[in-house]
Structure 1
């Protein structure tokens, strides 16, 4: 297996610019890796071999002519299959859209095409992004490269697993309640949810429009900054898009110090219900930041205790509205019922066959919450709690520069362990959901391996709205200190991953 796949995107960019490797060689190395291991992982739903190699060849030809190229030109990328791509299938992990080809590109896809980044393919996800484990995909679960008996997180487990397994150096994900950051924690990768509106959502199939956000999935903080700067910025096609400039994210990631920064430990996100190994690695990160000159203070965000309940009213309500169009008449694969064919019967047969159990559960919950007589009691009350959570963030950021917490309360659990208990599954998002409700940016980076099971732990950083650069400044410093302690990146602590092999015990 080529050693090229072990390099970060920034390193690969440098090798391409120096002529040490061609874009075709680099793309083929990742395609070979996908062919070798993805049968065990199931990170990809579609592999885009011909187009990826054609784009790589264009990059090599342009570079040979001395043309000016984007720094990421020729660096391969994977795209979550919730983001539409012209000429490639977009399924949203659902039978409802099986085989659908989008007639247009999402704005973020248009930007990576313009930068001439070869798209390796589309990655697996929980159906319509509804899940925390990527077990709710209609096309089978994705497995965690660290241990194939474990989940990779969700809903974007395919993107995180692809990056962790060295199938792709970069990937795009979407984050509605933690679907980039939580898989990052489970797989030892870096996941970023930008400020709401900082990256265009145009072309991302909507689940909950006031919560959804596209962001980068990478192996280093610097790589996330590079990709974030590319995909960010104002988009007239997205009515929620901010007009602010993306910001000096790469510059922030290279600052190299946190001296004088005040970092707040969220009292409500570091206590009961958190695995011992998670708390231990979190405390180690705090000590490293304190040693680097940051001031660590505890802050209280009391309404975070209600965030999970508010989220699981707001999100299903918006999802039930967004998914109403999939009826077999306007959108979605049509299923004809036996006997008399009426519009109502076609809709019923289509939704019964096209949607999985988790999607049906959330549609029913959301429709109920929005129904006459219950709107104010449920959805309206949840929006009031959302306002209180935003005020908690405002109060906290008046005292500190960034907030810090574990990304998830536990490491990756076993496949099937929580499928029969939806509430237990939902609790896995307790630390990530507040950021989506408030629209603030969040970053998860590897914090080490839990002693109990040897699986990755994630550390989450949160910053005020429009202050994404602070995440990269603090995240890059903490990443450097942790890697110095470990003697290299966290993924190098799993030799079977670093050497291009997988632990196959439990694989089917």
Structure 2
């Protein structure tokens, strides 16, 4: 068995009926992951022993018929603390780190009786858009092994797309759930900032980071978000807003919805195939009864420039703690305290992490703070106001997720070119809004992603619109070559 043509509901029914046990299911998932590893490298750690033990415990007490996630194998991005299991953030700096606690989102998934089969590969400290900066080697796209899976949650996306698991958790700082979801032809949700606790997530940029689910379809995605969302006293930025059941009225359609199509997101740099796919999606929404009109988000074009000042500045601050003293990598050749700091960080961090630390430290330094960081923060406010203006008259915003389908491994070596891959996703993080990607077409056999952007804490409307589109198309039913026929 693989999970390419399965969903959580159907697998749950098989578990309840006794057609398969959680242990058998988990062993199948682990076997799939192992078989795919040589081609894809989606996992840093496959936690076989603990996963099977947990499955046996769940079988012993019985599958909960009212909990669709009971006994379901999942995967966790390797920047989420998991008690007793290597949590490296894709870095040499943490290649020996096994936490003594698990993060809130991980604990909530465990409380839902899911079974984590392992930790997925990622760009080092979530800094990247291709999962090529990992200390543990790069991940390949299941649709074409010569293409990137996107990043930084590329391992999580690839593990779902290749049929290893039905759901995985990722983190999104500037598009790191939605971009790999688009490149892998699956569904990825970045919830509203504060909807899901960040406690236990290794920080990249604290005012942007958000945990969210990656799944094969929209309903499964809503189901996972139901379980991981909610207030957490450990995280002062987590919201105390009530969490609705995102699945309860998911099939109520889009009739009467007003959807904005920003002209700035379909301009220069967006490939013809991607542009046509989004225009076709807009037409599909019109057919279903939604009102789709052109809108403007004029300051979004400054999003990348502002983001790459603010996010590296926060990263520079967050990564100070990795000094070779308390935990993590420590250089063995250091002869004094100064050398210990310098050598441990020089040897422990990769090039992209060093680049962003230097960018951030420069932006925060005396004499440059006002010119760079303060100005970027002002731009962030303008981007937020653009969204607020549009949402006064519209329920949702529809855009491409990425300017192009997945690009080739080693194809984009210039950091600035790589940074521009997130030009369509970054504004959502700048404004703290919910955004999700779902399959909307294909270009030369590679998936194209469509992005829905919602009002703060209105994931419910996004799921309704995404579900309606999914039910009226068959893009989500396609499977990558590595797992079966297209």
Same fold (TM over 0.5): yes
For residue 415 of structure 2, what is the aligned residue in structure 1?
Answer: 422
Q: Distance in 1 between matches of 2:370 and 2:263?
A: 30
Residue 130 (structure 1) aligned to one of 104, 127, 131:
127
Between 1:51-60 and 1:394-403, the stretch displaced more is 51-60
- Give 1:435 shift: 0.7
Q: CA RMSD in A?
A: 1.4
- Give 1:12 shift: 1.4
For residue 349 of structure 2, what is the aligned residue in structure 1?
Answer: 355
Q: Distance in 2 between matches of 1:376 and 1:17?
A: 60
For residue 440 of structure 1, what is the aligned residue in structure 2?
Answer: 433
Unpaired segments of 5 or more residues in structure 2? none
| 2:200 corresponds to 1:213 | no
Q: How does 1:52-451 map to 2 (within 5 A)?
A: 52-63=51-62, 70-255=67-252, 257-337=253-333, 341-419=335-413, 421-450=414-443
- Give 1:227 shift: 0.3
- Give 1:22 shift: 1.3
Unpaired segments of 5 or more residues in structure 1? 502-508
Residue 482 (structure 1) aligned to one of 466, 473, 476:
473
How many residues are treated as equivalent by the alignment? 486
Q: Distance in 2 between matches of 1:4 and 1:480?
A: 19
- Give 1:337 shift: 2.9
For residue 505 of structure 1, what is the aligned residue in structure 2?
Answer: none
- Give 1:482 shift: 1.4
Q: Distance in 1 between matches of 2:65 and 2:32?
A: 29
Q: Distance in 2 between matches of 1:490 and 1:381?
A: 45
Alignment check: 8 A CA contact 1:325 1:331 kept: no
**TM-score between both structures, scaled by the size of structure 1:** 0.93
Residue 458 (structure 2) aligned to one of 447, 467, 490:
467
Q: Distance in 1 between matches of 2:270 and 2:257?
A: 26
Cα distance change, pair 3–318 in 1 and its aligned pair in 2 (3 A): closer
Q: Distance in 2 between matches of 1:440 and 1:170?
A: 22
Q: Distance in 1 between matches of 2:249 and 2:95?
A: 41
Q: Distance in 1 between matches of 2:346 and 2:306?
A: 28
- Give 1:251 shift: 1.5
Cα distance change, pair 203–3 in 1 and its aligned pair in 2 (3 A): closer
- Give 1:322 shift: 0.1
For residue 484 of structure 2, what is the aligned residue in structure 1?
Answer: 498
- Give 1:373 shift: 0.6
| 2:483 corresponds to 1:455 | no
Secondary structure (helix, strand or coil) at the match of 2:140 reads coil
Alignment check: 8 A CA contact 1:51 1:118 kept: no
Q: Distance in 2 between matches of 1:114 and 1:431?
A: 35
Between 1:23-32 and 1:126-135, the stretch displaced more is 23-32
Cα distance change, pair 252–312 in 1 and its aligned pair in 2 (3 A): farther
Alignment check: 8 A CA contact 2:22 2:56 kept: yes
Secondary structure (helix, strand or coil) at the match of 2:169 reads strand
- Give 1:134 shift: 0.3
Alignment check: 8 A CA contact 1:6 1:498 kept: no
Secondary structure (helix, strand or coil) at the match of 1:408 reads coil
- Give 1:346 shift: 0.5
Q: Deviations 1:167-217 (Å, cap 9, x if unpaired)?
A: 111000000000000000000011000000000000000000000000001
